Every structure is written in C-alpha cells, then in structure tokens.
Chain A
Amino acid sequence: GDSVTQMEGPVTLSEEAFLTINCTYTATGYPSLFWYVQYPGEGLQLLLKATKADDKGSNKGFEATYRKETTSFHLEKGSVQVSDSAVYFCALSDRAANFGNEKLTFGTGTRLTIIP
C-alpha cells in the first residue's frame, strides 16, 4: 500500500539556517503530495502541495519539488525563523492505487525548533 517516510526529528536549527526535511513516498498510482504544518496550539494547515511530477509547491518561503524518479518531496527553506517552529507532516493522496478508494496517508511528522 501507500506509505510516506519522513525524516526523523526533532530537528533544532539556529535562526537563518537552511532547512531540509526529507520525505520519500511509495505509491502505485499518481499521487498528489502535500506538506502540512501544525504550529503550537493550532490546528493542522496546508503549507504547500504538488499534483504531478516536477511540480514545485511553494508558500511562506518554503519549497518542495515532486520528484517522481526519486519518489521524493523534500521540504526546503533558505533561511528559517523562530516562527517556523512547528511539526511538519508530509502526506500523499492516491486514488488510483486503491481502486477508486482515495486515502490520505501521512508521514510521522518532524518537530522543528528554531532557536534565536
């Protein structure tokens, strides 16, 4: 079945550092890929998405490129801020692999802490 493997956390970085959170996936169809973020005390919210190979999703300075050849969707940001401290979830939505039954599959989440 579908699966998402996400970089283990927690990750601690200094402000203005470069961020990469790795995400790889297994899917037999043509999934859509997402990054969701959960800020402290808030609900999950969509950070960015990509729906086909080579698409790049971007939002709030974060980027991720849908790489079909490496089945990856790594999250990057050039210069992190304290306000980026949160838990980040990689996810995929795949209808074709499940005979029309679409599921949303999440990674385990990566807790990111940015120190000033």
Chain B
Amino acid sequence: KAGVTQTPRYLIKTRGQQVTLSCSPISGHRSVSWYQQTPGQGLQFLFEYFSETQRNKGNFPGRFSGRQFSNSRSEMNVSTLELGDSALYLCASSFRGLGEKLFFGSGTQLSVL
C-alpha cells in the first residue's frame, strides 16, 4: 500500500511569507504528526492531529499551525516566515498515536531566503 506522501518536496520562500505543506497518511491511519529537522536542533515534534483535532503539541510558536481533514490528510502552515524556519519538515502517520510505530514521509525541504 502507498506510504506517507508529502508535497511539495522542495520550497523556497522569502522572509515574511507564509507557506502550507501537505501530508497524506497511509490509508486507515488517523494520527498525523509533524516534525522539524535541522542540523542544529535535530528532530523536534511540532504537533499531532487525530480525527481532525489537535491532540498534542510541541514547543513551537503560534506561527506554526496545522489542520486535519476528514480523510485524515493534514496540512501544516507557517506564517510570517523567518530565516530560522529553514528546515526539513517531516510528517508521520499511525493508526492510533505517538506511542506506536510511526510511518514517516520523505519530507518537505523548506528554504527561507
């Protein structure tokens, strides 16, 4: 079956703009979580959505937001982009949540100029 799909693969934006990233989970998975990966900070948890509701949240500012649709697809939005937002953004899906096996997508590489 198809894996976790993230689009787009690459994005280039300028400071102050906003961006929306998309994640399609594995069919039947209801949990989608998002992560930021940078060389300096490593992998950091952003938030998790389950059945269209944000269930868990990491320590990121309110500029980072997300949503989940009824088909479990999820979007992440970053407003007022800063240079430090340049990173690989990963999403992962699972049947029930963070405590079980997560399936990761290949990520969206965001560059903020």
Contact = CB atoms under 8 A, between A and B. Distances in A.
**Does chain A bind chain B?**
yes
Contact of B43 (A49, A51, A95, A106): A106
Interface stretch (A11-19, A20-28, A70-78, A97-105): A97-105
A89 interface: yes
Contact of B48 (A49, A51, A89, A102): A102
B99 A44 contact: no
Contact of A43 (B48, B97, B99, B107): B107
Contacts of A43: 3-4, 90, 104-107
Given A44-B92, A51-B99, A109-B42, A103 B104 contact: no
| B interface, over-half SS | strand
Interface residues of B, number: 25
B19 interface: no
Given A101-B56, A105-B45, A109-B42, A49 B92 contact: no
B43 A89 contact: yes
A109 B40 CA distance: 11
B63 interface: no
A9 to B, nearest CB: 12
Interface string B27-49: 00000010100000011110010
Interface string A81-99: 0000000010101010000
Contacts of A42: 106
B33 A104 contact: yes
B99 A32 contact: yes
Contacts of A32: 99
A102 B100 CA distance: 12
A42 B103 CA distance: 12
A79 B19 CA distance: 45
B83 interface: no
Contacts of B57: 101
Interface of B: 3-4, 33, 35, 42-45, 48, 55-58, 90, 92, 97-99, 101-107
